[in-house]
Amino acid sequence: MRRTTGRLLRGMALLSVLALGATACGGSDDDSSSSTKAVSAADIQAALKKGGSVTVWAWEPTLKTVAADFQKKYPKVKINLVSDRSGDKHYTALSNAIAAGKGVPDVAQVEYFALSQYSLTKGLTNLAPYGADKLASKYTAGPWNAVSDGDKVYGLPMDSGPMAMFYNKKVFDKYKIAVPTTWDEYVVAAQKLHKADPKAYIAADAGDAGFTTSMLWQAGSRPYKVDGTKVTINFEDAAAKKYTDTWQKLIDQKLVAPINGWTDDWYKGLGDGTIATLTTGAWMPANFVSGVSGASGDWRAAPMPQWTAGGKASAENGGSSLALPTLGKNKELAYAFVEYANAGAGIQTRVNEGAFPATKAEQQSAAFQNKEFPYFGGQKANKIFAESAAEVASDWSYLPFQQYANSIFNDTVGKAYISGTTLAQGLKSWQDASIKYGKEQGFTVSK
Amino acid sequence: MTTLQPPAAATRPPTGPSAKRDRRSWTGWGFIGPFAVVFAFVFLAPIAYSIYLSLFRDQLIGGNHFVGLDNYKQAFQDDQFWSSLERVSLFLVIQVPIMLGIALFVALALDSGRLFGRDFFRISIFLPYAVPAVVATLMWGFMYGTQFGLVGDINSAFDVTLPDPLSAHLVLASIGNIVTWEFVGYNMLIFYSALRVIPTSLYEAAEIDGAGQFRVITAIKLPAIRGALVIATIFSIIGSFQLFNEPSILRPLARNAITTDYTPNFYTYSLSFNGQQHNYSAAVAIIMGLITMVIAYVVQLRGMRKGA
C-alpha cells in the first residue's frame, strides 16, 4: 500500500510537471509564429474554400443567425457555437482551457474590460497580420481603443455600450419632476421624488464595479494607466472627487435603493416605479423588453446627465469583442468568421435582432437612427445612443486584471453602501487591494 | 496504514515455501485493490496534488515558479484568512449548540412516547434536510427580501420596519438560521436512533426506583447517547468550518455584506476562480483542513474520554 501510494504520487507529480511544461511551451510557440507573418485575403479565401470547423464560445444571442448565414455562404465551413456560459463562468472556462492547453475554442467572446488580461498573458492572437488593423476607421473610438494596443489588435468589436439614462416617464410625470440633465439636477430630482413617495428611489445602486468605473470614465477620471506591465492605480484625482462627492449625497440621504442589479427585486423595482432611472449601456433596451415587459410604454431614454451644464461627455458600459485564443486552431477560418460577424454582413443581421453595433456606418444609418422603439412609446432611442457613442472619450483603459479587481469591488467600495465608510475611502481601499494583487502577480504597480 | 498489511506473514510459521507466501500476499492485495485504487485516485491524489500546487506561485507576469513554503508564510500573515476563520468560529460556538440543543430536545420529545402524531412530527422535522442546500438557501433568500420578499410583505402589511436579515450585522445570524433549519432534522435522527437502542429494561428499573422523566433523561438517556452527541458535534464542527453554499448563494442579494473572504472556503474559492491564485488557494485550503482536523480530533478525544 505504502509503496503503491508512493509510486502513484511520483507518477502524478511527473504528469503534472509534464502538463505544465507543455502548456508553457505551447503558449510561446504559437504566438511567435502567428504574429510575425501576414495572412493575405487570398490565404483566407483559400481556407474558406477548403473548409473545416470553427468552435465559437460566445453568449451573444444574435450570433446564432450570423453563424447560420455564414455556413450558408461557405457550405464547407462548420461553426460550432457554444453559448451556454456567460460572464464569470465563461472566463473561468476559458482560463482553465488555456491553462490546460487543450479544449481551447477557436473564437471566444471577450468583454472589453477582460481583453487586456488575456492579451497580456499571450492568450490571444494578434489580428493585425490578418488585416484587422485596416479596419480601425470602421469602429467608434471607445470599442476600437479597447481592442487595440499600439499596432496590435486583439479582437474585433462586436457591440458597444455607450451610456444613456433610461427613466420612468410615468413616475416623473406623476410627481411633475423635470428630467435631470446634470448630476446636480439628478440629486435634486432624487430628493423631490423620495419626498413625494418614500417608496420610490431615483436609482438602484448597491455597489456595481462596472457602473462606478463608467461613472468615473464620464467624469474624466482616469484611475488606471497601463503601459505593458507597468500599472498605475489611483482614484484620488479631482474628477473622481467630483463623482464621489455627488454620489455620496445620494447614499447618505438614502436616495438610491439598496437593490442589486439583475435580481428579482431589481426587475420588479424597474417595473413598478420603485426605481425611477437606470444609467447604463445602450444594450439595455432588449433587456427591458424581456425582463420588464409589464412597464412597456412607461420608460424613455435620455442622454446621460452631465458634470457641467450643456456638456456632452459620455462613457461606455459593457460591450464585447470576438477574439482568437492563441491555442485555437483554424486561425484563417476563425478570422474569416469574426470578420464576417463584426465587420461584414453579420453586423446588419445582429442590428436587426436588437444588438447595438460598434461600427460608425451602422450607427449613423438613417434606418438605424429612425427606428422607433415601441417599448419606449415609439421614441427613436438610437439617435440618443449614437450621439452618446460619438462623445465617448477614448483614452480610458481597464486594468490587465480587471476581472479580479471587479470581483473584490463589493468587499471594499461596497462598505460605503452599508456602513460609515465613505465612497472615497472605499475607492481608496479598492485601490490598495488592487495594487496588492497587481504586485503579487508580478506587475510594477504604483499609485 | 500498517493494519492494511496482509497478516499472513505474521501468523504463519516462517517455514512455508516462499512461492506460496507470495501468492497469498497477492490475494490480499486483490481484495483491497479496488478500494485502494479508488482511495488513491479520489482521496490521496487530490491532496497530494494540492500540496504540490501549494509550493509554487503562478503569476500573470513571470509565470510559474517554485517558492517553497512562501504561500504558507503568506497565509499565516493573511488578515483576510484569519478574519474569515474568526467568523466561522463565532458561527460554530453560537449556531452549533443551538442546533444540537433543538435537535436533542425534539429527539427526546419524540422518544418520550407522549407526543401525538409522532411519525408525522419526525418526518416533518426531517424534511428540510431532504431539500438541497442550494434550494433551501434560494428559498430563504427570497423570504429575507425587504423589498419584495416575505420580510418586505410583513413590513407593508403591518406597517412595521423589521431589521433587514441581509444587512451586514445580521447576515451571519440569518445564515445560521438557514443552517439550523436544514440540519435540525438530520441531527435529530442521529439522536433519536441512538435513543431507540437503549434497552427498555433500564426504564423499567428506573420506574421501580421512582425516577421521574427528567431524572431518566439525565441519568440514562443522555449518558447512553454520548457517542451520538460527539459524532453530531464533530459533523457540525466540520460543517461550520466548511460553510460555503449559503454565503455563496446569498451573495448576489447582499454583495456588500457577504464579502469574497466571508468564510475560509469561500475565500479559497474566490482566490482560485476570481484571482487565478490556485497555488495560494491550495495552501490556504490545506491549512484550513489541518485546523479542522485538529479541532475535530480534540473534540473526539475529550468527548470519548468522558464517556469511558
- Rounded Cα distance between A187 and A307, Å, is 12
Q: Are B162 and B283 within one domain?
A: yes
User: Closest residue of B to A438, CA-based?
Assistant: B60
Q: Any idea which fold A163-315+390-446 has?
A: D-Maltodextrin-Binding Protein; domain 2 (3.40.190)
Question: Matching CATH topology for A33-160+318-364 and A163-315+390-446?
Answer: yes
Q: What is the pLDDT of residue B147?
A: 77
A220 pLDDT more than 90: yes
**Sign of the CA dihedral with A231 first, then A125, A96, and A161 last:** positive
Each residue of A363-409: pLDDT tens digit?
Answer: 999 999 999 999 999 999 999 999 999 999 878 989 999 989 999 99
Each residue of A419-433: pLDDT tens digit?
Answer: 889 999 999 999 999
Q: Are B272 and B190 within one domain?
A: yes
How large a percentage of chain B has pLDDT more than 70? 91
Single-letter amino acid, residue A81: L
Q: What is the pLDDT of residue A35?
A: 45
Q: What is the pLDDT of residue A446?
A: 92
Asked whether the beta carbons of residue B270 and residue A407 sit closer than 8 angstroms, the reply is yes
Each residue of A177-209: pLDDT tens digit?
Answer: 999 999 999 999 999 999 999 999 999 999 999
B152 pLDDT more than 60: yes
Q: Give 3-state DSSP helix, strand, coil % of chain A, rounded to 5.
A: 55, 15, 30
With contacts defined as CB-CB under 8 Å, which chain B residues touch A5? 40, 44
C-alpha cell at B119: 411519525
Q: For residue A68, what are the β-bridge partners?
A: none
Q: Are B178 and B225 within one domain?
A: yes
How large a percentage of chain B has pLDDT more than 90? 68
HSE toward the beta carbon, residue B131, CA cutoff 13 A: 21
Q: Are B134 and B35 within one domain?
A: no
Cα→Cα distances A341→A38, A120, B11, Å = 21, 25, 77
- Disruptive mutation site among B148, B156, B269, B278 for chain A (greatest number of A CBs within 10 Å): B148
Judged by a CB distance cut-off of 8 A, whether residue B27 touches chain A is no
Q: Are B138 and B287 within one domain?
A: yes
User: Closest residue of A to B148, CA-based?
Assistant: A265
Q: Are B182 and B247 within one domain?
A: yes
Mark residue A176 as left, alpha or beta (left: phi above 0; alpha: psi -120 to 50; beta: remaining): left
Judged by a CB distance cut-off of 8 A, whether residue B28 touches chain A is no
Place of cell 480587471: A402
Q: What is the pLDDT of residue A373?
A: 93
- Rounded Cα distance between B168 and A167, Å, is 30
Chains A–B, number of C-beta pairs less than 8 Å apart = 102
Residue B62: inside a domain, yes or no?
Answer: no
CA neighbor of A60 nearest in space, from A16, A127, A109: A109
Asked whether the beta carbons of residue B275 and residue A20 sit closer than 8 angstroms, the reply is no
Average pLDDT, chain B: 88
Largest CA distance in chain A: 82
Mind telling me how many Å the CA of A349 is from chain B's nearest CA? 34
Q: What is the pLDDT of residue B60?
A: 85
- Cα A280 to the center of its chain, rounded Å: 11
Residue B282: inside a domain, yes or no?
Answer: yes
Asked whether the beta carbons of residue A441 and residue B61 sit closer than 8 angstroms, the reply is yes
Largest CA distance in chain B: 90
Confidence of residue A13 (pLDDT cuts 50, 70, 90): very low
- Rounded Cα distance between A193 and A189, Å, is 6
Judged by a CB distance cut-off of 8 A, whether residue A20 touches chain B is yes
Each residue of B5-53: pLDDT tens digit?
Answer: 444 444 444 454 555 555 567 888 888 899 999 999 999 999 999 999 9
C-alpha cell at A158: 462586436
Asked whether the beta carbons of residue B260 and residue A274 sit closer than 8 angstroms, the reply is no
CATH of the domain at B238: 1.10.3720.10
Judged by a CB distance cut-off of 8 A, whether residue A395 touches chain B is no
Q: What is the pLDDT of residue B63?
A: 84
Q: For residue A204, what are the β-bridge partners?
A: A257
Judged by a CB distance cut-off of 8 A, whether residue A28 touches chain B is no
List alpha helices for B159-225, DSSP H. Answer: 171-196, 200-208, 213-216, 222-224
Judged by a CB distance cut-off of 8 A, whether residue B44 touches chain A is yes
Asked whether the beta carbons of residue B256 and residue A5 sit closer than 8 angstroms, the reply is no
Q: Are B45 and B96 within one domain?
A: no
Asked whether the beta carbons of residue B257 and residue A418 sit closer than 8 angstroms, the reply is yes
User: Closest residue of A to B5, CA-based?
Assistant: A1
Asked whether the beta carbons of residue A440 and residue B276 sit closer than 8 angstroms, the reply is no
Residue B66: inside a domain, yes or no?
Answer: no
Q: Would you kindly state where each structural domain of chain A is located, as residue ranges?
A: 33-160+318-364, 163-315+390-446
Of B36, B147, B260, the CB nearest to A265: B147
A255 pLDDT more than 50: yes
Of A4, A13, A443, the CB nearest to B52: A13
Judged by a CB distance cut-off of 8 A, whether residue B30 touches chain A is no
Q: What is the pLDDT of residue A24?
A: 39
Q: What is the pLDDT of residue B22?
A: 56
Judged by a CB distance cut-off of 8 A, whether residue A300 touches chain B is no
A16 pLDDT more than 60: no
Q: Are B114 and B19 within one domain?
A: no
Of B63, B167, B261, the CB nearest to A418: B167
Judged by a CB distance cut-off of 8 A, whether residue B268 touches chain A is no
With contacts defined as CB-CB under 8 Å, which chain A residues touch B274? 88, 403-404, 407-408
Residue B63: inside a domain, yes or no?
Answer: no
Q: What is the pLDDT of residue B107?
A: 95
A26 pLDDT more than 80: no
A4 pLDDT more than 50: no
Residue B68: inside a domain, yes or no?
Answer: no
Burial of A125 (0-12, 13-18, 19+ CB in 10 A): buried
Q: Which domain holds residue B12?
A: 2-53
Confidence of residue A31 (pLDDT cuts 50, 70, 90): very low
Q: What CATH architecture does domain A33-160+318-364 belong to? A: 3-Layer(aba) Sandwich (3.40)
- Rounded Cα distance between B271 and A130, Å, is 37
Higher-confidence position of A284 and A23: A284
Judged by a CB distance cut-off of 8 A, whether residue B253 touches chain A is yes
Give the pairing of strands A256-257 and B56-59. unpaired
Q: Give 3-state DSSP helix, strand, coil % of chain B, rounded to 5.
A: 75, 5, 25
With contacts defined as CB-CB under 8 Å, which chain A residues touch B28? none
Q: Are B169 and B215 within one domain?
A: yes
Q: Are B40 and B176 within one domain?
A: no
Question: Residue B104's CB: how many other CB atoms inside 10 A?
Answer: 24
- The four Cα atoms A147, A315, A410, B279 give a dihedral, to 10 degrees, of 10
- Secondary structure E strands in chain B: 56-59, 63-66
Portion 67-86 of B in contact with A at CB < 8 A: none
Instruction: Please state the pTM of the whole predicted model.
Output: 0.83
Portion 210-249 of A in contact with B at CB < 8 A: 229
Asked whether the beta carbons of residue B5 and residue A1 sit closer than 8 angstroms, the reply is yes
User: Closest residue of A to B61, CA-based?
Assistant: A442
Q: What is the DSSP string of A100-125?
A: HTSS--SEEEEEHHHHHHHHHTT-B-
Of B60, B149, B259, the CB nearest to A411: B259
Residues in chain B: 308
Each residue of B217-249: pLDDT tens digit?
Answer: 999 999 999 999 999 999 999 999 999 999 999
Judged by a CB distance cut-off of 8 A, whether residue B240 touches chain A is no
Q: What is the pLDDT of residue B249?
A: 93
Confidence of residue A92 (pLDDT cuts 50, 70, 90): confident
Q: Are B159 and B249 within one domain?
A: yes
Of A9, A259, A260, the CB nearest to B48: A9
Q: Are B196 and B47 within one domain?
A: no
Residues A316 and A304 sit within 8 Å (Cβ to Cβ):
no
Higher-confidence position of A2 and B141: B141
- Rounded Cα distance between A274 and B193, Å, is 52
- Rounded Cα distance between A300 and A374, Å, is 10
The total number of structural domains that make up chain B: 2
Asked whether the beta carbons of residue A443 and residue B48 sit closer than 8 angstroms, the reply is no
Average pLDDT, chain A: 89
Confidence of residue B93 (pLDDT cuts 50, 70, 90): very high
